[in-house]
Structure 1
């Protein structure tokens, strides 16, 4: 969110910026700008990361918030750009790392204009990606230039941000526009208010004095509100970076004290973005906001189809106990909260969260099939790379009860895909054989042509009767 109106104030007073040629430096990119960054990066560098382009800077970590689109994350991983998903508020973490690495931050978020960053901030709107050659033309903002331009002590920037209004506090009682210098051309009300505040701050040397004086301008302010304002100024103090070890040594990020029991592999997966931020919400709050696709409001939520799968997931999180997770989902056009109980049964009972990555492959496979409600025999005769899609289709058929035409279309796509995959193999190998169980499903459509292959020896199962899938009759 940042400091309201600050970006517009800087654009109005562009002399605060310094024109530079950016090169040979690390660059930290604010994750809220990831959409613009990822799309432009693809245009500029194709499939190669910028670090491979001579003369251009190394692009270092990109910070993802939980709300970021997954395809952006996948793009960055494919391009070998290091990234981390911050657990909690990312601004301070990003600023702290930029301070320690002495490199700039690329962002539109005006909160970064308050932090005292040695290499400053590169406004995204002035970062000329398309003109990149041996350097990138851009503008740089530093707090020293800002304070010199408006003639205020740089120690007052946290007070300026707090009194101007940010996402920590919002003061509406003080009309800062009345402190605008006489004869000063009045621009937009927001810019005029910020310039009035900056003019008022000139006579102070410390944040404490400025905040104390501001409180006298609000006669009805309570002690609680004053304390809130004082605490808000502390949000711009730079802590030691907890991310330094993540990038240099692969160390796990620290989690809030409420979930210190979470294994290191979960912390690492959260930081890398391999696990959704929903997992952290479940651990911290026992709550999950479900995705809300556009659907017919008179039908049940599509999220109910996958609920049994989520129940198994909840059963792997010991802190939830038997209380379950509060799922927030749409019922018709209204949001409702429902408690979904965890399920721990069958092979899942032998799994523990701390050792989950080391669990035997056969156990994990059994848990997967039990969750999907499919047994091994159903998948016999199905090519190994198609077993998961087939198992998921069986689950979908049972839980969603789709229209037969949809199921038929899905099966045909899978079959055609398999035929295309086998292009170039011998005619015999191009044929698809299915088990007796799969044959029974296909026969319900009365359109698929199957031929008895006979008994064959299946590894681990002995002799089984299988069938060739020849195709589908044209009449259907």
Structure 2
């Protein structure tokens, strides 16, 4: 998740504390870390020719070596795929990544055009296992789990995700951008720490109203189209950031008037100001605020062996997306965009993959169409051509079990080759 413009507000509030980090545990947002390590390396790692995995491995090892030098113990949490309700955001991000991949493939990329090579996450998990770094992969996004673990262990969260400015992290939030892990001195790493209490004191809002601000201002689940209502109610002299920043400050001034009142009252009043009174819309915004509630996420209704292997990082997040949402977002590749997607070549393999996971239920795939347009299409899973008895052995509950004798499949490899699927 992410909250639009939150980093600028934090900077404006002067709520960042200069901090020397040492002798502590830390909860690390894994995806944010490997993105940062890959994209911010010096010299810059390759993105145009499939990725520079040896250099990435060395960068990750150096990072965790420097943490240990400062007696910092890490727990890395990893996403297990996007959550329901974010389809529009996921589609927009996929389109943006496809456009970046196209520019990189044509050697016309700008400064901010970055595409992560497809195996970076897999290599990152492998390195964590080699270094014996504690790790937990989640079902869905890892933000909530990161906060819960940080509060359990009384330590900060390290990430670049602006949602951590909203969550109530008791020991604070450390931004990766300001985490100078390569410049530790005297056994400590220079950093900047954010606490919600200082931000709320500056803008005079209740801490429990920060999720309301995120939902109204704009996160991955909601944004109130107020057509300038907040800015007109709270006009201000010319301030940095333009109309968008003015709107965000106006929303905070509006919420400052609801100190001591419930979040639902604040949401209803904000929507009423924008001329929105429909109950289903109000409920949508209330649900968006609940994304920041510090409650354990629901346990997925899946076989115990899958839950165990996902948490250990031994099953990819592609598996969780297929099992929980019947969908797969195919990672954008730097390739020749004048030709069909490279994923077309492996369609038949994915159909068997879906068949093992969800049986005959259709699975939706998100890939590119033609140049850089996003295409969502339903894919029909394929079941192996085996006897009913052997097919039962391949059901999800039994898929991890060793059988006494090999399953008698037809020669699917020959069939695939004959029909030109590979």
Deviation at 1:216, TM superposition (A): 2.8
Matches of 1:350 and 1:215, distance apart in 2:
53
8 Å CA contact 2:4–2:217 kept in 1: the answer is yes
Partner SS state of residue 24, structure 2: coil
Aligned length, in residue pairs: 359
Name the structure 1 match of 2:257.
203
State whether structure 2 residue 214 is matched by structure 1 residue 161: yes
In structure 2, what is the equivalent of residue 131 of structure 1? 183
Equivalents in 2 of 1:126, 1:184: separation in Å?
29
Q: Give the match for residue 85 of structure 1.
A: 137
Q: Larger relative contact order (C-alpha < 8 A, sep ≥ 6)? A: 2
CA contact (8 A) 2:81 2:320 kept: no
- Separation in structure 1 between the aligned mates of residue 237 and residue 342 of structure 2, nearest angstrom: 61
Alpha-carbon separation, structure 1, partners of 2:147 and 2:319:
25
**Does the alignment pair 1:342 with 2:383?**
yes
> Which of 166, 185, 206 is residue 114 of structure 1 equivalent to?
166
Give the equivalent residue in structure 1 for 2:10: 10
Deviations 1:336-372 (A, max 9, x none): 43423312416944734434444148627x76x9544
Alpha-carbon contact 1:99-1:118 (below 8 Å) kept: yes
Q: Secondary structure at the match of 2:171?
A: coil
Cα deviation digits, residues 397-419 of structure 1 (max 9, x gap): 656599xxxxxxxxxxxxxxxxx
TM-score normalised by the chain length of structure 1: 0.64
- Secondary structure, counterpart of 2:158 in structure 1: strand
CA 1:178 to 1:340, structure 2 compared with 1: closer, same or farther past 3 Å? same
Q: Which residue of 2 aligns with 1:194?
A: 248
Paired residues of 1:312 and 1:371 also in contact (CA < 8 A)? no
Give SS of 1:75's match: helix
Which is higher, the Rg of structure 1 or of structure 2?
Answer: 1
The offset of 1:36, in angstroms, is 4.0
In the aligned structure 2, how far is the partner of 1:146 from the partner of 1:224? 31
Q: Is the aligned partner of 1:177 residue 2:231?
A: yes
Task: Give the conservation status (yes or no) of the 8 Å contact 2:150–2:157.
Answer: yes
Q: Spell out, residue by residue over 1:182-223, the C-alpha distance to the aligned partner (whole angstroms, 9 max, x if none).
A: 446343322222222222222221223322322331224422
**1:346-361 map, 5 Å:** 348-349=390-391, 351-352=393-394, 353-360=396-403
Check whether the contact 1:174–1:218 (CA below 8 A) recurs between aligned residues. yes
Question: Quick one: distance in 2 between partners of 1:401 and 1:228?
Answer: 43
* Structure 2 unaligned blocks of 5 or more: 42-55, 83-119
User: Partners in 2 of 1:315 and 1:146 — Cα distance?
Assistant: 50
Q: How many angstroms does 1:104 deviate by? A: 0.9
User: Partners of 2:29 and 2:274 in 1: how far apart?
Assistant: 35
Aligned-pair Cα RMSD in Å: 3.6
Q: 1:128 deviation in Å?
A: 0.8
Q: TM-score, normalised by structure 2?
A: 0.72
Distance of 2:267 and 2:369 partners within structure 1: 47
The answer to whether the 8 Å contact 1:290/1:303 transfers is no
**Are positions 1:271 and 2:314 aligned together?**
no
Cα–Cα, structure 1 residues 185 and 49, in superposed 2: closer, same or farther, change >3 Å?
closer
CA distance in 2, matches of 1:172, 1:106: 32
More displaced, 91-100 or 15-24? 91-100
> Could you say which residue in structure 2 is the equivalent of 1:223?
279
